[in-house]
C-alpha cells in the first residue's frame, strides 16, 4: 500500500500555486511568497518548497529573478474561453492582470464549414452570428477567440447579435430566459495551419504562402435538446495552454 505522509506534499504545493496562476490571481511578473513565508503558511519543510518551485519552473510557470525571488513567468499561461468562464465564476475576473482584448467584431454570416455545421446542426449556407476577439497579455496578442451561435440561440439571447460587450455570459442569459440548463461539451484540441486572417490578428509576420502551425481548442455548448454555441480558440505559436487534469 502506497504511503503518503500527513500534510501538504510538494505536488500539492505546486498545484496550489499553479491554480493561482491559472486563475489570474498571480499575474506574469508577480512575485511568489518567499521560501520562509511559504514554509510558515503551509507548515512544510524547505525541501518541500524547493521541490514545488522546481516543478513550477520546469513547467515554465515561474522563474528566478535574483533579489526579487521567484516570480511568475511572462509567458506563463494563456487560458481557454471556457476556462475564463470558470475563472469568472470563481473570482469574478473577466481578465487576468495584464490581460486585455481588442478587435471585437460581431457579424452575421452564412456558414459552410462542415465542422461548424455538424457541431451546431446547421445546414450549409444557414446563417449564424459570429463573434471574434483577440486576447492579449501585456499588449502581445496570444489568442483569437471565435464564438458562433445558431438562430435558435440568438432568438433567446438577441444581445449576441449586437456589436457590444456582453454584460453576462450567454449561458446565464439563456438559462434565465428559457429555464434550460446549459452544458459544456468535451473540449478538444488539434493543430492546423493558421489562416492569413489569424496571422494578422496575432501580429505574426510570416513570409507569403508559408505554413505557420497553431494549436486550436474547440468546445460546443448544449441544452437538453440541441447545440447552442461553438467556441474556438486559436493560440499564437509558443503559447503555453494548460490542459485539464
CATH for the stretch 10-72: 1.10.10.10
Asked whether residue 4 carries a pLDDT value surpassing 70, the answer given is: no
Residue 199 in grid coordinates: 496571422
Looking at residue 67, its pLDDT comes to 75
**Per-residue pLDDT at 116:** 97
What is the Cα–Cα distance from 239 to 188, expressed in whole angstroms? Answer: 17
Query: Where residue 86 falls among pLDDT bands split at 50, 70, 90?
Result: confident
Across 73-96, average pLDDT:
73
User: Maximum Cα–Cα distance for the chain, whole Å?
Assistant: 62
Please state, for a pLDDT cut of 90, what percent of the chain lies above it.
62
Determine the Cα–Cα distance for residues 86 and 59; give it in Å rounded to an integer. 22
- pLDDT of residue 186 exceeding 50, the answer is yes
> Domain boundaries in the chain?
10-72, 81-235
User: Whose CA is closest to 218, among 189, 182, 195, 241?
Assistant: 189
Angle (CA) 190 92 136, round 5°: 45
Highest mean pLDDT among 10-24, 179-193, 231-245: 179-193
What does the alpha-carbon distance between residue 221 and residue 168 come to, in Å, rounded to a whole number? 16
- Please give the model's pTM, rounded to 2 decimal places: 0.77
Strands 62-64 and 70-72: antiparallel
Beta strands in the chain (DSSP E): 62-64, 70-72, 99-110, 127-137, 140-149, 183-184, 188-193, 213-222, 227-235
Q: Is the pLDDT of residue 166 over 90?
A: no
99-110/140-149 β-pairing: unpaired
Q: What is the dihedral of CA 150, 155, 160, 161, to 10 degrees?
A: 90
CATH dotted code for 81-235 = 3.40.1410.10
Q: Mean pLDDT, to the nearest integer, of 197-211?
A: 90
pLDDT at residue 79 greater than cutoff 80: no
pLDDT tens track for 220-243:
999 999 999 999 999 999 887 776
Contact status, residue 9 vs residue 48, Cβ threshold 8 Å: yes
Say whether pLDDT at 76 is over 90.
no
DSSP 8-state assignment for residue 25:
S
- pLDDT for 27 equals 80
Amino acid at each position: 500500500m502506497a504511503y503518503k505522509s500527513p500534510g501538504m506534499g510538494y505536488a500539492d504545493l505546486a498545484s496550489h500555486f499553479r491554480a493561482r496562476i491559472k486563475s489570474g490571481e498571480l499575474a506574469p511578473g508577480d512575485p511568489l511568497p518567499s521560501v520562509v513565508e511559504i514554509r510558515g503558511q503551509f507548515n512544510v519543510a524547505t525541501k518541500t518548497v524547493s521541490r514545488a518551485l522546481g516543478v513550477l519552473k520546469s513547467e515554465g510557470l515561474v522563474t528566478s529573478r535574483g533579489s526579487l525571488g521567484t516570480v511568475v513567468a511572462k509567458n506563463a499561461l494563456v487560458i481557454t474561453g471556457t476556462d475564463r468562464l470558470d475563472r469568472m465564476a470563481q473570482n469574478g475576473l473577466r481578465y487576468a492582470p495584464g490581460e486585455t482584448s481588442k478587435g471585437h467584431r460581431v457579424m452575421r454570416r452564412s456558414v459552410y464549414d462542415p465542422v461548424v455545421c455538424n457541431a451546431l446542426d446547421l445546414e450549409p449556407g444557414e446563417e449564424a452570428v459570429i463573434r471574434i476577439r483577440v486576447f492579449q497579455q501585456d499588449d502581445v496578442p496570444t489568442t483569437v477567440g471565435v464564438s458562433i451561435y445558431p438562430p435558435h440561440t440568438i432568438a433567446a439571447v438577441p444581445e449576441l447579435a449586437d456589436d457590444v460587450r456582453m454584460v453576462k455570459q450567454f449561458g446565464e442569459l439563456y438559462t434565465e430566459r428559457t429555464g434550460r440548463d446549459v452544458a459544456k461539451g468535451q473540449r478538444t484540441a488539434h493543430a492546423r495551419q493558421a489562416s492569413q486572417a489569424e496571422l494578422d490578428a496575432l501580429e505574426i509576420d510570416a513570409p507569403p504562402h508559408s505554413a505557420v502551425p497553431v494549436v486550436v481548442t474547440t468546445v460546443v455548448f448544449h441544452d437538453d435538446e440541441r447545440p447552442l454555441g461553438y467556441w474556438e480558440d486559436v493560440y499564437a505559436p509558443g503559447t503555453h495552454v494548460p490542459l485539464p487534469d
